[in-house]
Amino acid sequence: MVLRRLAVAGVSLATILGTALLTAAPTAAAAPQAQPATTPPVVGRAAVGDAPDIDVAKVQAHLTELNAIATRNGGTRKSSGQGYRDSVAYVKNKLQAAGYTVTEQPCTSGCSNGAGPNLIAEWPQGDAGTVYMFGSHLDSVGAGPGINDNGSGSAALLETALTLAEQNPAMAARVRFGWWTDEEQGLNGSDFYVSSLSATERSKIKAYYNFDMIASTNGGYFINHVNSAAAQPMKAYWDSLSLQPEENTEGAGRSDDYSFEQAGIATSGYAMGAGARKTSAQAAKWGGTANRAYDSCYHQSCDTTSNINSTGLNRSVDGIAYTLWKLAVANSTPANDFSLAVTPATGTVDPGGTATSTLSTATTKGSAQTVELSASGAPAGVTVSFSPASVTSGGSSTMTVATAPSAAPGTYPLTVTGTGSVAHRTTFTLTVKGTGSCTGQQLLTNGGFENGTAPWTGDTGTIGAHSGRSAHSGSRFAWLGGYGSSATDSLSQSVTLPSGCTKATLTYWLHIDTDETDRVAYDTFGVKVGNTTLTTLSNTDAATGYTQRTLDLTPYIGQQITLTFTATEDASLQTSFVIDDAALQTG
């Protein structure tokens, strides 16, 4: 939350917009019933129909990673620093892997010098003309890592987004997430985003929900515009826990919802309080200590993972999920449904050849419907077509998988999707045979980590030009571990080893340094292909400077593999595993 207080002009805005706000929302499960006043607050969540129970442990795992990113970057994730850019990379990679349309929006005016981008992610289903937006600022102040302010809101939105993708329900409206830059310097990132929207695009956003400091250790339960139409589902969820939420007066005009209010977009959101003091009445109602700040580490270096109220975080993230499902998710038991199958489910071709299969559909509930067919996961040189491209459920289509002569030999799982009132998926496995010849080549992309984070996945915040460690060459590297507490970091990349080659060799440079003194393997580093561990090193292998390591991957020739580096530390005494200049050479 930005420290300086802005002019407050939006408190009555949601009331002005009035009851017309949620008319576009789909029908969903009824709001949960409030518990009797004599029932103590429930730790966790209430029954909320189809809305999921978000795993707060996963939210806390994101917070652990954000804290680690700050630690590797001078103790901060301020908008103009590498810690912020690494935070963006961490969130972005998880969203892209989950299937979101993700955009980095540079803030080209109004932001601090050197400020990183806004990160915008949209789930590509539902009515594009009806958008519900959920946002939080991802930057911290310069004085600390910003884990409650505002890792808490950022991590809660990330895990909610990942849960939405995993469950993949039928959508009645679009859901868009925003992680804002430069909030701590004056709401600059969200101001830039809103000002960049055309009038038409602004009108599509039916409500914006903001989450800033939702895990304050001495916090209360506050809702922006608590009695507005926009706030109704948020209040309904916390009412179901007998929390008796109050208006967020402390936060009025001080976080990114204000940028949307100024543009005439209805807003609400959760907060648990910043530097203001809890009253005696609030302490009696919610617990905690009266006349003490809601967050005694507000804008300080002690705003770490130790400064998190897990109960409040859990109640907040489940309320976010309830609101999202209530507004944007269609009835999870559609009146009409269908099944999808592919026969045969595998195909083997020479480069330049084709494979065909039959996509069959059946109406499993209600009336027949139109099913649009598509495929994803095809490598370079492979195309997938359908004849016809859409069918009425109960009908079938011929799928043709065509390969170019240049298609790399290997095995590729293709995802086939049928989209109607809901989406169903199935898998077709394509094998491109080798030609008997081999052109030696280096297969890993960005093995020196100099070109951002792609295509590496996992804990990509470990990649960067971190202070405290140095690269083997260039300026960037991957720093796994080094926390001095229980933690796991991993980086993965998928590659195809062409058939026809007789040798495949992985090399990488690894620097291990440790504070451990015993010759016992407390902290470990492993290299895996798929689920198979190829080697394990530990703190006992620590040495001065980098050492080149070599592994034979010849047994995997002709296969698509996922290569993973993983570092695991125990509860004390750091061990750092620093990787650079990785290569996978065939011959």
Q: Which domains does the chain have, with CATH numbers?
A: 56-328 (3.40.630.10), 337-432 (2.60.40.10), 441-586 (2.60.120.260)
Examine the residue annotation and report whether 201 is marked as an active-site residue of this protein. no
Higher pLDDT, residue 531 or 49: 531
pLDDT of residue 6: 38
Classified as helix, coil or strand, 179 is strand
pLDDT of residue 212: 98
pLDDT of residue 435: 56
Q: Which tens digits make up the pLDDT trace of 287-326? A: 999 999 999 999 999 999 999 999 999 999 999 999 999 9
Q: Which tens digits make up the pLDDT trace of 49-102? A: 479 999 999 999 999 999 999 998 999 999 999 899 999 999 998 998 888 999
pLDDT of residue 381: 87
- Cα–Cα distance measured from residue 146 to residue 80, given in angstroms and rounded to the nearest whole number: 14
pLDDT of residue 333: 64
- Cα–Cα distance measured from residue 113 to residue 115, given in angstroms and rounded to the nearest whole number: 6
Confidence at 549, pLDDT banded by 50, 70, 90: very high
With a cut of 70, say whether residue 35 has pLDDT above it: no
With a cut of 80, say whether residue 139 has pLDDT above it: yes
With a cut of 50, say whether residue 16 has pLDDT above it: no
Share of the chain above pLDDT 70, in %: 90
Q: Which tens digits make up the pLDDT trace of 244-281? A: 999 999 999 999 999 999 999 999 999 999 999 999 99
The answer to whether residues 260 and 194 touch, using CB atoms and an 8 Å cutoff, is: yes
With a cut of 50, say whether residue 39 has pLDDT above it: no
Predicted model pTM: 0.61
Give the residue carrying structure tokens 């009851």. Answer: 19
- Cα–Cα distance measured from residue 161 to residue 155, given in angstroms and rounded to the nearest whole number: 10
- Other residues' Cβ atoms within 10 Å of the Cβ of residue 265: 25
Higher pLDDT, residue 3 or 472: 472
- Other residues' Cβ atoms within 10 Å of the Cβ of residue 164: 24
pLDDT of residue 490: 92
Confidence at 563, pLDDT banded by 50, 70, 90: very high
- Cα–Cα distance measured from residue 145 to residue 483, given in angstroms and rounded to the nearest whole number: 14
Beta bridge partners of 568: 488, 524
Exactly one of 65, 183, 250, 569 is catalytic; name it.
Answer: 183
pLDDT of residue 547: 95
Out of 22-26, 190-194, 421-425, which region has the weakest mean confidence (pLDDT)? 22-26
Average pLDDT of the segment spanning 221-238: 96
Residues for the chain: how many in total? 587
DSSP-derived secondary structure for 33-77: PPPPTTSPPPSS----TT-----HHHHHHHHHHHHHHHHTTTT--
Q: Which tens digits make up the pLDDT trace of 389-401? A: 999 999 999 999 9
DSSP tag of 529: E
Confidence at 434, pLDDT banded by 50, 70, 90: low
Structure-derived torsion over alpha carbons of residues 416, 421, 422, 423, reported in degrees to the nearest 10: 10
With a cut of 70, say whether residue 14 has pLDDT above it: no
pLDDT of residue 437: 58
pLDDT of residue 3: 65
Average pLDDT of the segment spanning 456-469: 91
Average pLDDT of the segment spanning 553-581: 93
Q: Which tens digits make up the pLDDT trace of 161-191? A: 999 998 888 899 999 999 999 999 999 999 9
With a cut of 60, say whether residue 34 has pLDDT above it: no
CA distances from 170 to 127, 163, 194, 323 (A): 11, 14, 28, 16
Q: Which residues of 108-131 are buried (b: 16+ CB within 10 A; e: fewer)?
A: eeebbeebbbbbbbbbebbeeebb
With a cut of 60, say whether residue 33 has pLDDT above it: no
Out of 41-45, 155-159, 525-529, which region has the weakest mean confidence (pLDDT)? 41-45
Confidence at 501, pLDDT banded by 50, 70, 90: confident
With a cut of 70, say whether residue 380 has pLDDT above it: yes
pLDDT of residue 579: 98
Higher pLDDT, residue 407 or 360: 360
Within 8 A by CB and 6+ apart from 124, the residues are: 99, 100, 101
Mean pLDDT (the chain, rounded)? 88
pLDDT of residue 391: 95
With a cut of 60, say whether residue 17 has pLDDT above it: no
